[in-house]
Structure formats: structure tokens, C-alpha cells
Amino acid sequence: MNIKAMDAANAYAGALKNQGLASGLGNIGADNIGDISGNTQGSGSFSEVLKAALSDTGNSVNVSTNTGIAALNGKADLVDVVTSVQNAEMVLETVVAVRDKVIAAYQDIIKMPI
């Protein structure tokens, strides 16, 4: 996976703008600064990767829920339920860890002197 250095800042600013929280921020990302890594070949923007990860998280939670309901109806084994719940938990923990790293990186960037 190849992510440009400032795609995270663009995605964050876009999310704030969509919520009406950043009316005066302007464009703070790669358009103004450039690609710091120097790599121009990428498999997608950070926002696309983030959307895919959140979609996968939602899908695994839905599978876990559906497996639990099937087990209550006698259509699934307990092993299937435990496996799907552990998979959903692992995916959710991964998303939370990535979120924490992005927030920490953002806070480090904010603390940098101009």
C-alpha cells in the first residue's frame, strides 16, 4: 500500500469541511506542499484506503451479527460464532490502532513550528 504523505491532512480537512468545522482552513495538503515522499505511483488516496477499511470493518461486524443470529436460530455452530466475533474484534482493534496513530501524527504535525 502506497500513501502520499499529505493525503491524511487532505482527508482530515475534507472531513472537517463536510461537517462545517473548518470554514477557514483552506487546502492544507499535497496541492500546496507537494509529495514529500517523491513517489508519484500510488494505489489510491488516503481517503480511499480509509473508506475501504471502514467498509471492511462494517462488513465484518455485520457478518458477526448475522452469524450470532443464525446460531440463535440453530443454523450455525458455536465455533462459527466465536470465529466471526474474534475476526470482527481483530478488525475493529486494527482500525482503532490506525486511528490512534493518525491522531498522534496529526498532533505531532500541529506542534511543529512554522
* Domain range annotation of the chain: 1-44, 45-114
Cβ–Cβ under 8 Å, residues 8 and 105: yes
pTM, two decimals, is: 0.53
64 three-class SS: helix
Closest CA to 89 of 114, 61, 111, 113: 61
| Type and span of the H or E element at 39 | none
Tell me: the pLDDT tens digits for 67-90?
999 999 999 898 999 999 999 899
Q: How far apart are CA 114 and CA 100, in angstroms?
A: 24
Q: How far apart are CA 96 and CA 74, in angstroms?
A: 33
Residues 6 or more apart whose Cβ sits within 8 Å of residue 85:
64, 67, 68
Tell me: the pLDDT tens digits for 10-54?
665 666 565 544 443 343 343 433 343 444 445 578 788 878 888
Residue 5 is given by DSSP the state: T
